[in-house]
Amino acid sequence: MKFNKNLESIRTYEAGKPIELVVREFGIEAKDVVKLASNENPYGCSTKVQKAVGDILSNMALYPDDSMTKLKNAISSRFDVEVSNVIIGSGSDQVIEFLMHAKANSSSKILVNSVTFAMYEIYAKHVGAKIIKTASQKHDLNEFYDIYKEQKPEIIFLCTPNNPTGDAIDRDELFKFIAKIDSDTLVVVDGAYMEYAIAKDSSKEIVVKELIEQFSNVIYLGTFSKAYGLGGMRVGYGIADAKIIEELYKLRPPFNITTLSLEAASVALIDEEFVQKSITLNFEQMKRYEEFALEQKIDIINSYTNFVTLCLNNNQNSTEISNSLLQKGMIVRNLSGYGMNAIRVTVGTADQNSRFFELLKQCL
User: Domain range spanning residue 319?
Assistant: 5-45+273-363
* Total length of the chain: 364
pLDDT at 87: 98
In this structure, the answer to whether residues 101 and 229 fall within a common structural domain is yes
In this structure, the answer to whether residues 175 and 123 fall within a common structural domain is yes
- Give me the residues paired with residue 346 across strands: 307
- From first to last of the 364 residues of the chain, give the pLDDT tens digit: 777 777 767 676 566 666 666 666 666 777 778 999 999 999 999 999 999 999 999 888 999 999 999 999 999 999 999 999 999 999 999 999 999 999 999 999 999 999 999 999 999 999 999 999 999 999 999 999 999 999 999 999 999 999 999 999 999 999 999 999 999 999 999 999 999 999 999 999 999 999 999 999 999 999 999 999 999 999 999 999 999 999 999 999 999 999 999 999 999 999 999 999 999 999 999 999 999 999 999 999 999 999 999 999 888 999 999 999 999 999 999 999 999 999 999 999 999 999 999 999 998 8
In this structure, the answer to whether residues 230 and 286 fall within a common structural domain is no
CATH number at 315 reads 3.90.1150.10
The four Cα atoms 204, 207, 212, 217 give a dihedral, to 10 degrees, of 10
pLDDT at 362: 92
Instruction: Say if CB 39 and CB 331 are below 8 A apart.
Output: no
CA triple 285-286-291, angle to 5 deg: 100
In this structure, the answer to whether residues 120 and 194 fall within a common structural domain is yes
In this structure, the answer to whether residues 267 and 283 fall within a common structural domain is no
Q: How far is CA 324 from the centre of its chain?
A: 26
In this structure, the answer to whether residues 245 and 256 fall within a common structural domain is yes
Q: How many domains does the chain have?
A: 2
CA triple 98-99-101, angle to 5 deg: 65
Cis peptide before 153 (omega within 30 of 0): no
* Cβ neighbours around 33 below 10 Å, total: 20
Closest by CA position to 329, among listed 29, 7, 107: 29
In this structure, the answer to whether residues 223 and 235 fall within a common structural domain is yes
The values of phi and psi at residue 188, to 5°, are: -105, 120
In this structure, the answer to whether residues 68 and 78 fall within a common structural domain is yes
pLDDT at 13: 59
Where does a domain end: 271, 301, 330? Answer: 271
In this structure, the answer to whether residues 172 and 302 fall within a common structural domain is no
pLDDT at 242: 98
In this structure, the answer to whether residues 33 and 167 fall within a common structural domain is no
